[in-house]
Structure 1
């Protein structure tokens, strides 16, 4: 049995131990450790375990020593520990030359003119040096006994189409693929595509209508993921990824993520319904699509976006401050589980209010018969 799934298959006794009930496998995306002491981390992780969290997808930069320290504490608290590290977004590091970054349809590099926000400094997946950099980065961390697996993030191109709930935030109407958001048009990508298909990329407006060009870039991402997966599996560790919903309803169209072709141990679609101006039933629809698109042995964990300030959600203009209200959380979990999800993943436990935790506990100790 897949280890990630196996560690989550557990049973708990309720009603004075007289009745046995399945528990929903629950993980959480979490950042840290900041200035937290070992004792503070131990208390935090123990609290999360008691509340029903089974595993952490933990983001703490690139330093293996940090993951060694935090992973040991997480294991003592009874949590599975996976390192959550961005892939194609790597900042402007001294070890990454500017020519390794992706180029948009206007010929602008993500290095000095990124799309949307300053941290969207995406690398080009078609550079061998990029693969070598990432393989070395993940390999050193996967080698740690305190690390159970590598959890990829930003394993994609920039959003050529934003989720509809974000259009107003960026004052955009994304009715087509615009050149400033369409990647990668570097010389190597265009030359390799021509060598493979005989089609020359002349300009973005023309190229955006060529299905082969879209597929070429989807395949670049898939090939890179699968090379990294092979590296991590050779170390006996798991490799998973946060992905966009779908894949075909959203991920492929929005960020070139044809993730059902990736050789990973589990998938974590970010089913953030508010970003898509949808309700909790949409979460179920996305889980159904996701589980139908992958091998039945590969688990899909439904990523749920939590509202940090439920009482002021209606007043918040920024969708980043929206998310599931306490009264919606149970429904989102039910929709996920009844539509094939193997479990759920919270973004993030730090956004959970006391009311959220009450509804969470009610929802995770139920048996959900899949439709």
Structure 2
């Protein structure tokens, strides 16, 4: 009787070991990368080969919403063993040739100024209204064109939010700003369509609010406008048998406060919270803290978290390894690095060695 018991014990150990190995090997490593039509196929091959040899599994590629360039790049990346996600600037659409023909599509600040010609913070902040039928349909059409490209894993939404009502603390000196309260020049969207839609639901005009910063209905209206856009994008992308993913702010409560983005309530397959600790004057352990917050807020949902790490914000490779381990220990299913150009040979060596140690 001892032999069967021993065999059963060894079988149980084997199953447990395989399960643990599958759990660690499913922890993925991604990188954000920006494409250019001027780059040759050989240049892309070298770039992707470098990533793969450095332990990277997936690339999130910004082709400036050009499906033809994406079609060219996907086979090259796939040949090098990388999965591809189509990265799109969604609500912020700088230089969008179609949108620029429609000034009414753009978000309007509490001051009454449009992103079409008066941009908050930087010139590339040209935000489309997520409520207006025509502008949101334009965004969804762009998403669908990318979703049609064969071989991609997901359409990866970025800037899927409102302009920053509050900047990360370390960026404030750059703009010579103090943001202790919500400032009207950074508070959006007060366009006619948003005001009309809000009035229809709540029977009041946000422009006449005594204090919009504590008007929860007005804030939720904007949170829900982004959610509705994401949820529609989810249906569009899944119709083409692709996933929907997004780059988001560090954790839901923080995203809610800073950019009107409550990503734990979205219909979405995976999120890549940009837990760039240096932006917030935080220490490296904040990567674990913010990851854990997001994981807790997603409890009971199928949405996966991939912790975003800002390479220039790390002091050394020891911090890079620590960030990866903190993400995994706190429930992330992967890490993503910003960005490909910032990854040194030393960084890639550390990523690969850390990946091996987790297997």
TM-score scaled to structure 1, two decimals? 0.87
Structure 1 residues 109-148: aligned runs within 5 Å: 109-148=114-153
Distance 1:327 1:357, change over 3 A: same
User: 1:279 matched to which residue of 2?
Assistant: 283
Determine the C-alpha separation between the residues in 2 that align with 1:76 and 1:354.
Answer: 22
* Contact 1:23/1:365, CA 8 A, preserved across alignment: no
Determine the C-alpha separation between the residues in 2 that align with 1:21 and 1:213.
Answer: 43
* Contact 1:304/1:324, CA 8 A, preserved across alignment: no
2:339 to 348, 361, 366: 348
Structure 1 residues 128-277: aligned runs within 5 Å: 128-203=133-208, 206-248=211-253, 250-277=254-281
Count of residues paired in the alignment: 338
Determine the C-alpha separation between the residues in 1 that align with 2:177 and 2:210.
Answer: 18
Asked if residue 40 in structure 1 is aligned to residue 29 in structure 2, the reply is no
Determine the C-alpha separation between the residues in 2 that align with 1:214 and 1:21.
Answer: 40
- SS state at 1:29 partner: strand
2:348 to 350, 357, 360: 357
How far the C-alpha of 1:280 sits from its partner, in A, is: 1.1
- SS state at 2:252 partner: coil
Distance 1:232 1:21, change over 3 A: closer
* Contact 2:37/2:69, CA 8 A, preserved across alignment: no
* Contact 1:337/1:343, CA 8 A, preserved across alignment: yes
The alignment yields a C-alpha RMSD, in angstroms, of 2.0
Structure 1 residues 98-109: aligned runs within 5 Å: 98-109=103-114
How far the C-alpha of 1:11 sits from its partner, in A, is: 6.2
Structure 1 residues 307-326: aligned runs within 5 Å: 307=312, 322-323=313-314, 325-326=316-317
Which blocks of at least 5 consecutive residues in structure 1 are unaligned? 1-8, 13-19, 308-321
- SS state at 2:357 partner: coil
Distance 1:21 1:133, change over 3 A: closer
User: 1:335 matched to which residue of 2?
Assistant: 326
TM-score scaled to structure 2, two decimals? 0.89
* Contact 1:21/1:365, CA 8 A, preserved across alignment: no
How far the C-alpha of 1:364 sits from its partner, in A, is: 2.0
Greater Rg over alpha carbons, structure: 2
- SS state at 1:300 partner: strand
Higher helix share: 2
How far the C-alpha of 1:92 sits from its partner, in A, is: 4.0
How far the C-alpha of 1:181 sits from its partner, in A, is: 0.3
How far the C-alpha of 1:239 sits from its partner, in A, is: 0.9
User: 2:77 matched to which residue of 1?
Assistant: 74
Deviates further, 34-43 or 338-347: 34-43
Distance 1:94 1:31, change over 3 A: closer
Determine the C-alpha separation between the residues in 1 that align with 2:144 and 2:207.
Answer: 39
Deviation string, structure 1 residues 309-355 (Cα, Å, up to 9, x no partner)? xxxxxxxxxxxxx4453221111111111000001001012212233
Determine the C-alpha separation between the residues in 1 that align with 2:48 and 2:309.
Answer: 20
